Amino acid sequence: MSEEKSGNKFVNYIKGLFDFSKYDTKTKLIILVFIGLVVLSVVLLFYNYIIDESFLTNIVIRYIVIPIRRLGWIGILIILGFMVIQGLLVPIPSELVLLAIGIIYGLVFGTLIGIVGSMGAAIVCFYISRRGGRPVVENVIGEKNLEMVEGWLEKRGFVAVLLGRVIPFIPFDVISYGAGFVESIKWRDYLIATFLGSIVRALFYSFLGDSLLPFEKGLLDTFATAPIIGPLIVDNIIGGVQDQFNLILLILLAGLGVTFLAYQFILLPRLRKQQE
């Protein structure tokens, strides 16, 4: 009987994913963009693992890491600005941005940039919630998700914010928005919990990002622009790290998939029961 209920629950969930009638135009657009990104990701992963194992490593190093590092401080400011606005305008999880920062800047510097960017994003999202931006927030993260997170934050307060930051796979922006609607959570407590949790979170994703490309990023700054030897050195770096990049990327994607299923079918149902 329980297996049948679980099966029906899964079927209903899948049906709900493709029921767009309850969404407004903006939300439908965001969903379509997200679906497009998922399809594109599947195609790229298939090509990378089946046809050309250096494909993604080559793209990441040549067209992301090298160009952004060449920008110097301007590149850092662009990333920080993107982290602040992505929770509002771009349907990309902040966790992926933190991972990219680790890939580009390595463990130590990536962690520092991640902490600063996370604090900026957290302040903006919290402020919008406090200023009564509920319709905006519901469009970004969904009404049901917001209500459940609100209930959890109202009961746990500081500890809930801290855990929401420390546990890497809990959506960062959902906690930021939800906390803004809970009057018992004060600015000072929110900022302290966010700062402490962001240290762990940024360190975790910077470590993963740095592990994807395990070499001294400064080598790219020194040699990548050299007219003759530069391309040869970059080719050598790509050949040396592509196997590890592909393995860790596969493990990371599997971990994200398991975490998503746990969030949807374990955590959210428990939060719903607590509110009933």
Give the pLDDT of residue 203: 95
Mean pLDDT of the region 215-220: 67
Helix/strand/coil (H/E/C) assignment for every residue in 72-116: CHHHHHHHHHHHHHHHHHCCCCHHHHHHHHHHHHCHHHHHHHHHH
Query: Is 169 strand, coil or helix?
Result: coil
Whether 10 maps to a domain, the answer reads no
pLDDT tens for residues 177-208?
888 888 888 999 999 999 999 999 999 989 98
Whether 3 maps to a domain, the answer reads no
- Is 90 exceeded by the pLDDT of residue 77? yes
Domain count along the chain: 1
Whether 4 maps to a domain, the answer reads no
- Is 60 exceeded by the pLDDT of residue 8? yes
Question: If you count them, how many residues does the chain have?
Answer: 276
Q: Which amino acid is at 10?
A: F
Task: Choose the weakest-confidence range: 146-150, 220-224, 258-262, 267-271.
Answer: 220-224
What band does 225 get if pLDDT is binned at 50, 70 and 90?
A: low
- Is 70 exceeded by the pLDDT of residue 141? no
Spatial CB neighbours of 183, under 8 Å, sequence gap ≥ 6: none
Whether 9 maps to a domain, the answer reads no
**What's the pTM value of the predicted model, to 2 decimals?**
0.71
Give the pLDDT of residue 4: 56
Whether 155 maps to a domain, the answer reads yes
Domain range for 251: 23-46+53-275
What band does 116 get if pLDDT is binned at 50, 70 and 90?
A: very high
Whether 8 maps to a domain, the answer reads no
168 near 160, Cβ under 8 Å? no
Candidate ranges 41-45, 69-73, 139-143, 168-172; pick with highest mean pLDDT: 69-73
149 near 175, Cβ under 8 Å? yes
Give the pLDDT of residue 276: 60
Mean pLDDT of the region 150-165: 84
- Is 60 exceeded by the pLDDT of residue 26? no
Q: Is 106 left (phi over 0), alpha (psi -120 to 50) or beta?
A: left
